[in-house]
Structure 1
Amino acid sequence: MRVNMDDDSIQYAGIDEGGGNMWNYNGVPFTGIIEEFYDNGNLVGEIECKNGYTDGLQTEYYENGQINEEYYLKYNRRYGTYKHWDENGVLLVHLVFDNDGNIINRILG
């Protein structure tokens, strides 16, 4: 399920044990993707949630539509890969995290 951040049915539900955001949809813990948009219609970002927790792929975009950052988050800790691009689409940073949020490989940056 995809929901716009401006949808009144999506509500901020507090902070999880790791300091990350929690979300409800119509009063129930949300599973799906929350989307936020710039005034020009391009995506600001996508927040993946599972059972109310910010959990999974998080993506942020520049206003021109180019991807800015892409990373995985659970309990406010990064895991898996993290990538950061400049506004022209050039990959600047590529890191790999373990499940505890520690960098285990620096591929670029």
Structure 2
Amino acid sequence: MTAVQRIDIDDPEVDMDDSERLYHRGGPFTGEVTEHLGERLVSLDGYVDGYKNGPSREWYQDGTLRSEGTLREGMPVGEFREWHPNGALAARQVFADNGMTLLEEHTWDEQGRPTRSWRKGA
């Protein structure tokens, strides 16, 4: 079994073109890309052939989960969730498999009260 290659987005050998395709050491990157603020991990994204592909997660500086979802060839698919700094759910979005169609969106304030609820076609 091959280990997944992991690099830091701030690595001097990382480059990104205008289409947001990520390169490492001159070639399109496949593996995991991290971002840190100081010693804290604040994002982790999967990449395939230079495009975000797979799980995507972000954290606040204190380690609280900020967002998570899945990307396919750089486009959001399925469910994405975001949280307020206090840990309360802030938003939930559902995207179609084509990554271009938002099917539903729900948002909440920091106390958990609904602020918006929308579904395509409803």
Shared topology, TM-score over 0.5? yes
Structure 2 contact 51–74 (Cα < 8 Å) conserved = no
Identity %: 25
Q: TM-score, normalised by structure 2?
A: 0.72
- Count residues with an aligned counterpart: 102
**Structure 2: distance between partners of 1:70 and 1:89:** 13
**Structure 2: distance between partners of 1:6 and 1:66:** 22
Structure 1 contact 14–23 (Cα < 8 Å) conserved = no
- 1:9-44 per-residue CA deviation (whole Å, 9 max, x = no partner) reads 2222331xxxxx1111111110011111012x1122
For 1:53, the aligned partner's letter is Y
Q: TM-score, normalised by structure 1?
A: 0.79
- Higher RCO (Cα < 8 Å, 6 or more apart): 1
Identify unmatched segments of 5+ residues in structure 2: 108-122
RMSD of the TM alignment (CA)?
1.8
**Structure 1: distance between partners of 2:69 and 2:25:** 27
Q: Which runs of 4+ in 1 moved over 6 A?
A: none
SS at 1:49 equivalent: strand
**Structure 2: distance between partners of 1:50 and 1:38:** 24
